[in-house]
Amino acid sequence: MKAIEQYKIITFTHRRTDLNGIGQFVLRPKTEEQAVLEQLHAFKQQIGAKEIYYLSTCNRILFLVLAQKEDKGKAFKQKFMQTLYADLSETLQAKALKEAFLYEGLEAIDHFFRVSASMDSLVVGEREILRQLREAYQDNLEQGLTGDAIRLLMRFTVETAKKVYSSTRIGEKPVSVVSLAVSKLMQAQLPPSSRFLLLGAGQTNALFAKFLKKYGYHKVTVFNRSLKKAQELAQDFDGEGLLLNQLGEYRKGFDVVVAATGAKSALLTSSLYGQLLGQEAATSSKLLIDLSIPNNIEPTIAEQYPKAQYIPIESLRELAQKNLAFREQELERAKEVVEEQLDIFYQAFKERLIELALREVPIQVKAIRQHALNNVFKKELADLDEESLALLDRMMAYMEKRCIAIPLQVAKQNMLKED
């Protein structure tokens, strides 16, 4: 068995397990005092792993393991699952065994590279996964779970992800509805003094609000069923948080409405829109962004008020699909980058093995030199003058370097040829 085969990945992803199902296999603390990563120390010893790395995201659970040489294939996967999920029901254990992917050796490296470059993500090209991988590595490292092999792999993983993003267009063209909505907003070239009404204070509008802050918009009023949530989101802008049922009474004007609630019918109707306009001319330009299903903004507003630009979620989703298709076309070029990086990593991995195997050579050669000077030829050296001693020392230093370098070079060449 080649040393590279000791790299293993066991993972649950959206490709075989639905998102709710993935949640069933997330590691949870057995006690309040013991964190998940601390528990992995015991697990690592139980399965005899040399190193282990754990990552959990909303659509992926991944274990990267440096296993013993004898651990391989289905037997390793079964031992891993039965030990890790011993507390789960037999039904869930069977499900875990069936739905988890196992990658070994270069396939494991290839998978890890693809994950880092968001080639295996639910949304291809989203860079968030690389940040998550790096943060997880830091956490695992601090807990003493990882070692030299995973360190080397992480170095090349980050390098690979960066090369994929720099040499392909896999990360171009926004594919999230919120990002596309913000793009539409930026195309409108509205001044920083524009007034925003956010209908809803959930995740969608919270994310939209972050973009508003990023681009310098500061006049924001938030309407929500929960007053507390509305006020919490509005306070980031020193704005006002109000209840949704107060929308009809609002008379402070607006330039943009962004709706994202779970309401089952339109919140902003044509008649309410007229009330919100107040003293402003019905011909004044307004931007209406509807990020809700079903629509929270009545589409007929744009028919009745021609200066109201209506952007429904359906149009954004269609554009998102087109952009996602574009990103997926870039996968072929990304695969080429990964294949190139695989070869480079494998070479580096083999050289590192040689370095580790031969790290005693320099120590032993230095020890022989000191023994020769201080013991074997001690009497003879006592009769030499300072100039002769200095020359001898230089000669010994040269011989020491050559005696270290030559066997290392020969060993490297032979091992690489044999492989």
Confirm or deny that 128 is annotated as ligand binding.
Answer: yes
Instruction: Confirm if 153 and 7 have CB atoms less than 8 A apart.
Output: yes
Give the pair of three-digit tokens for residue 101: 């992917």
Confirm or deny that 146 is annotated as ligand binding.
Answer: no
Confirm or deny that 121 is annotated as ligand binding.
Answer: yes
Confirm or deny that 159 is annotated as ligand binding.
Answer: no
Q: Compute the distance between CA of residue 145 and CA of residue 323 in angstroms, rounded to an integer.
A: 39
Residue 284's contacts (CB-CB under 8 Å, 6 or more residues apart) are 277, 307
The radius of gyration of the chain from alpha carbons, rounded to an integer in Å, stands at 31
Closest among 56, 66, 93 to 78, alpha carbons compared: 93
Confirm or deny that 126 is annotated as ligand binding.
Answer: yes
Looking at 26, 35, 58, 75, which residue is catalytic? 58
Pair type for strands 60-66 and 51-57:
antiparallel
Q: Compute the distance between CA of residue 136 and CA of residue 26 in angstroms, rounded to an integer.
A: 14
Burial 243-274 (b: 16+ CB within 10 A, else e): ebeebeebeeebbbbbbbbebeebbbebebbe
Confirm or deny that 127 is annotated as ligand binding.
Answer: yes
Instruction: Confirm if 230 and 243 have CB atoms less than 8 A apart.
Output: yes
Tell me, yes or no, if 403 is annotated catalytic: no
Confirm or deny that 60 is annotated as ligand binding.
Answer: yes
Sign of torsion over alpha carbons 251, 256, 262, 264: positive
Confirm or deny that 58 is annotated as ligand binding.
Answer: yes
Confirm or deny that 16 is annotated as ligand binding.
Answer: no
Confirm or deny that 168 is annotated as ligand binding.
Answer: no
Q: Compute the distance between CA of residue 403 and CA of residue 71 in angstroms, rounded to an integer.
A: 37
- Phi first, then psi: what are they for 53, rounded to 5°? -135, 135
Confirm or deny that 352 is annotated as ligand binding.
Answer: no
Confirm or deny that 266 is annotated as ligand binding.
Answer: no
Tell me how far CA of residue 374 lies from CA of 367, 369, 382, 384, 402, in angstroms. 10, 9, 10, 14, 21
* Beta-bridge partners for 312: 290
Catalytic residues: 58
Residue list, annotated binding site for substrate = 57-60, 121, 126-128, 132
State the binding site for NADP(+): 200-205
Q: Show binding-site residues.
A: 57-60, 121, 126-128, 132, 200-205
